[in-house]
Structure 1
């Protein structure tokens, strides 16, 4: 579309309205609606990483960056939509449906708590292994090898005891919290 216009900067005296290219249309088509649910957004993230577009020759890292940049802003709203849908679904049924939602949430809470404790223990064990390997390299040059291994044994027994205690206490209190919440909701 060309119109007569002065001073538009293109030098020929005509104003040319640029039409959007194919990529601009793709971006507009990719605009997401606000009503996306959490599984849909997570599916988009995974499918963009695992199954790239036919013309996309980027590496896995670039696909991850693009996928997360496109879909990560949608996660908070999708989470709220998902929580609202679960709440409406549980309110729309019998009390057994609400009990089912509470039970599934409690099981997920306990599983994630156990996973968090395991990750923290794994991180501690990794740092401990790094420190011990440094100490072993120092001890190998000296004559304190027997004393060092006695201390290493004591450290590992102590670390395992603390980990078992922490996991047991965390699991126990998570179940207590679940029981308290379940009783107050009934």
Structure 2
């Protein structure tokens, strides 16, 4: 069932490549209903001039509508109003939102916030940014806990195409 798959996606590292035929169908339904943002491989076979079943998809993120549907599925009545969803969204940074936020930044861009570094890692794995992420290193001066550092060199052409698709919506 696609809604059960939506619950699965909530805990997945997004963006996520999907190749299982049944999961690709689920992704297609969730995308069509506006619950997720996803790229599905072209289903038009140019060699034979016919349509075929999509064989792969890239799930990019769960939309605000998708998060609202998850809340409904769990039976949460409180906290489903738009203001509380926005408040929750402030605490959990989505990778595509972060990509939009850095779109016009000067590169290379140094990132030290752990939540932002997590987004950089996801965006790097998806091929949306060219970045280097250092392992946790202890600061010599502060003697505090290990601190990661990421340096985003650029947004890749694939990442720019994703931003253009998002702007067209």
Quick check: TM above 0.5?
A: no
> In proportion to residue count, which structure has more strand?
2
TM-score band w.r.t. shorter chain: under 0.3
Structure having the higher Rg: 1
- Flag the structure with higher helix content: 1
Query: What TM-score, normalized to structure 1?
Result: 0.23
